[in-house]
């Protein structure tokens, strides 16, 4: 069994990246409900993110989404982050909202539209250069709605061509994280529908291309932890977009729908060495907070990942291995269930107290008065968000 000191050390060194868009107004395709105090620009998003890091101690980076977070001076934005004790994380490209992308972006049948999309991806790499960001996260809504609408193989050729061009533009310390999603908004074929497609493209591109696993982007019943284990084994797991879903891609708070699944995923991360910073696995949230207050929801999400990680670290791996080797099916399952059933909140309270943090980050946030402060100060102007 892992020593308590080692568990605490692993939890202390864990880093979880929060998404800038989760601090703005975002929600469902049906309606986005505005809230008082929502940031009006990327700097104010970082101000809120600093509160999450202040109370959890493990959220030092913030992902940006372009053009939602477009500014005139990205180096100045990076300096603002640094002043807050943060860093800018993954740069997320957006090639799905313009009217030109109705039939796709880099897979579009028209060369002019593909060129527009590729230029945007190059812009995102330029932003990485200015911010010091390591990761370019790519999700493509490209696909078709009807049989015969376009040539399936030709679309894969166009995708490969675009990815190769971006890959060649990357710096030595930069990488592509390729995301997949099995449907929506395309309903007949999706050009990057699953981990296998993403893996095949990344494998051909080279070591600076890896797969990102969004936990909401799978068909019902998909064994996500198997995907995680395999990608880790192959050295191709670049990161996670953590969220939770009840039906399709709900982007609800991570751990809300199936905390046992999150535990199983994190066990495979621990088992495969993915917690080691040298593994390069990015633990990112990708969530929308439509009816719940945003900052405390993100704090709670970070805590949910911490709790799943703590339980995964507590698995008695010697007992598990012995049961597996002897064919003790129930004993092996019990080794996992015992860890999952452990109340790790006192352990995490100790970890936070040792770091000089309040043992209860959500309560500490509510006492801080930050919600009241931003509600008063952020009156007027245009709130950030992606609309609906």
pLDDT digits (tens, 9 = 90+) for 68-100: 999 999 999 999 999 999 999 999 999 999 999
Instruction: Let me know if residue 335 belongs to a domain.
Output: no
Q: How many domains does the chain have?
A: 1
Instruction: Let me know if residue 298 belongs to a domain.
Output: yes
Helix 345-354 to helix 294-313 angle, to the nearest 10 degrees?
A: 110
pLDDT digits (tens, 9 = 90+) for 137-163: 999 999 999 999 999 999 999 999 999
d(CA 370, CA 364): 10
Instruction: Let me know if residue 320 belongs to a domain.
Output: no
Strand spans (E) along 304-362: none
Candidates 52, 122, 77; CA nearest to 295 is 52
Instruction: Let me know if residue 28 belongs to a domain.
Output: yes
pLDDT band at 283 (very low <50, low <70, confident <90, very high): very high
Mean pLDDT, range 238-259, rounded to an integer = 94
Tell me the residue range of the domain where 258 lies: 14-309
Instruction: Let me know if residue 376 belongs to a domain.
Output: no
- DSSP string for 143-198: EESSTTSS-HHHHHHHHHHHHHHHHHH--TT-EEEEE--SSSS-SSEESS-SHHHH
pLDDT digits (tens, 9 = 90+) for 4-50: 788 999 999 999 999 999 999 988 777 889 999 999 999 999 999 99
Mean pLDDT, range 177-206, rounded to an integer = 97
- Provide the pLDDT for residue 249: 87
Mean pLDDT, range 335-353, rounded to an integer = 97
Task: Fill in the DSSP letter of residue 65.
Answer: E
Instruction: Let me know if residue 216 belongs to a domain.
Output: yes
Instruction: Let me know if residue 332 belongs to a domain.
Output: no
Give me the CATH number covering residue 76.
3.20.20.150
d(CA 282, CA 387): 28
Is the pLDDT score of 388 beyond 80?
A: no
Instruction: Let me know if residue 266 belongs to a domain.
Output: yes
Q: Which residues pair with 17 in a beta bridge?
A: 284
Candidates 184, 182, 109, 95; CA nearest to 149 is 109
């Amino acid at each position: 069994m892992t020593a308590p000191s080692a568990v605490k050390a692993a939890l202390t060194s864990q880093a979880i990246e929060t998404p800038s868009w989760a601090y703005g107004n975002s929600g469902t395709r049906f309606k986005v409900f505005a809230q008082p105090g929502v940031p009006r620009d990327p700097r104010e998003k970082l101000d809120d993110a600093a509160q999450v890091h202040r109370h959890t101690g493990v959220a030092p980076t913030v992902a940006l989404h372009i053009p939602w977070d477009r500014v005139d001076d990205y180096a100045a934005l990076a300096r603002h982050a640094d002043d807050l004790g943060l860093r800018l994380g993954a740069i997320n490209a957006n090639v799905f909202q313009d009217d030109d992308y109705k039939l796709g972006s880099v897979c579009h049948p028209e060369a002019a539209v593909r060129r527009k999309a590729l230029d945007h991806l190059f812009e995102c790499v330029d932003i990485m250069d200015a911010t010091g960001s390591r990761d370019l996260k790519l999700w493509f809504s490209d696909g078709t709605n009807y049989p015969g609408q376009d040539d399936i193989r030709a679309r894969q050729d166009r995708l490969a061509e675009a990815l190769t061009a971006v890959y060649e533009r990357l710096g030595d310390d930069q990488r592509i994280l390729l995301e997949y999603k099995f449907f929506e908004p395309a309903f007949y074929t999706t050009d990057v529908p699953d981990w296998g497609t993403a893996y095949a493209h990344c494998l051909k591109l080279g070591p600076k291309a890896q797969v990102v696993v969004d936990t909401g982007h799978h068909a019902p019943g998909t064994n996500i932890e198997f995907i995680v284990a395999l990608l880790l084994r192959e050295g191709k797991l670049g990161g996670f977009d953590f969220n939770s879903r009840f039906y399709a891609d709900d982007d609800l708070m991570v751990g809300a729908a199936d905390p046992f699944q999150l535990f199983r995923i994190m066990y495979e991360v621990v088992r495969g060495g993915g917690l080691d910073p040298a593994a390069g696995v990015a633990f990112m949230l990708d969530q929308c907070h439509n009816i719940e207050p945003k900052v405390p929801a993100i704090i709670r999400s970070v805590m949910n990942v911490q709790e799943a990680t703590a339980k995964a670290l507590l698995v008695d791996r010697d007992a598990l291995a012995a049961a597996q080797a002897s064919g003790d099916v129930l004993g092996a399952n019990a080794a996992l269930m015992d860890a999952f059933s452990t109340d790790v909140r006192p352990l995490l309270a100790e970890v936070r107290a040792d770091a000089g943090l309040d043992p209860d980050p959500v309560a500490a946030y509510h006492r801080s008065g930050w919600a009241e402060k931003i509600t008063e100060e952020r009156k007027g102007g245009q709130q950030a968000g992606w609309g609906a």
